[in-house]
Amino acid sequence: MKLKRISLNETEIKFNEEATVFFSYDTPVAAKVGVKYYRTKEKHSRTTTKHLNRWLEDVKCELKPQSWFEERFFSYAPNDYLLERP
């Protein structure tokens, strides 16, 4: 697992060669799994929207509810590309 601070409020966590999750502030809002990108459907602040657009760079992505990100990235073991919630 590799943590990459993009800016003060933007972070990327690469779990392995297949899965990367993008956080704006403390919230997972986008992910790349394999060659597919995912983005939250939830409306966030103007700044988070700017962060998302910059990270995704106009790639096609599938919209998912915020719960999809939180369930996947806080419910499973890192080998499943995910973290357990404390």
Q: Is the pTM of this model over 0.75?
A: yes
| Interval 14-38: pLDDT, tens | 988 888 999 999 899 999 999 999 9
Distance CA 22, CA 10 (A): 7
Instruction: Assess if residue 37 is contained within a domain.
Output: yes
What total of structural domains would you count in the chain?
A: 1
Mean pLDDT of the chain: 86
Q: Where are the beta strands (DSSP E) in the chain?
A: 2-7, 10-14, 19-24, 27-33, 36-40, 62-64
Instruction: Assess if residue 50 is contained within a domain.
Output: yes
Instruction: Assess if residue 85 is contained within a domain.
Output: no
Instruction: Assess if residue 58 is contained within a domain.
Output: yes
| Interval 26-84: pLDDT, tens | 899 999 999 999 999 999 999 999 999 999 998 999 999 999 988 877 654 455 544 44
Instruction: Assess if residue 86 is contained within a domain.
Output: no
Instruction: Return the percentage of the chain with pLDDT > 90, whole number.
Output: 69
Instruction: Assess if residue 14 is contained within a domain.
Output: yes
